[in-house]
Amino acid sequence: MTKGIAFLLGMLIEAAIAALLGALLHKQFDRSGFGAAVRCGAAAVIGTGATNPAVWAGFSRLENWTGSWWGAVALGEAGVVLVEALFYAAALRGRWGWALALSIAVNAAAFGAGMLYASGAVRPG
């Protein structure tokens, strides 16, 4: 799988999960189900678009700095979660706790899907 396809699939997974969570949690956000879904989905797309290329560009440096692939992944994902939480907070008008929770959940799901694919457990077609 190319980086471009991985990027698009990750963005799709994150947007779908964020939109679903937004719709389910819309009362906590004081929005309609549709409005919360759109805001959360858009935050996921914009956040992923901002963070993934940056992580890919600096991953080898993170790996050298931490000394392991898993260390680089952990540090990179932690940074991604924090940065993407800013986009969720903007979409949710400053609900920082919910923004961080959404960012963690969405990124964990996308990472898990990527690991399943990489392991060979899930293959399209």
* Confidence (pLDDT) at 118: 84
Which three-class secondary structure string do you get for the chain?
CCHHHHHHHHHHHHHHHHHHHHHHCCCCCCCCHHHHHHHHHHHHHHHHHHHHHHHHHHHHHHHHHHCCHHHHHHHHHHHHHHHHHHHHHHHCCCCHHHHHHHHHHHHHHHHHHHHHHHHCCCCCC
**Closest alpha carbon to 87 in 24, 27, 11, 30:** 11
Q: What is the pLDDT of residues 24-33, one digit of tens each?
A: 999 999 999 9
pLDDT at residue number 19: 98
Tell me what pLDDT residue 125 has: 59
The model's pLDDT over 88-105, given as tens digits with 9 standing for 90+, comes to: 999 999 999 999 999 999
Alpha carbon 20 to its chain's center? 14
In this prediction the pTM is 0.89
Residues of the chain with confidence (pLDDT) below 50: none
What pLDDT sits at residue 122?
67
The per-residue pLDDT for 124 is: 61
Separation CA 40–CA 115 (nearest Å): 24
Contact at 8 Å (CB) between 44 and 13?
A: no
pLDDT at 120: 81
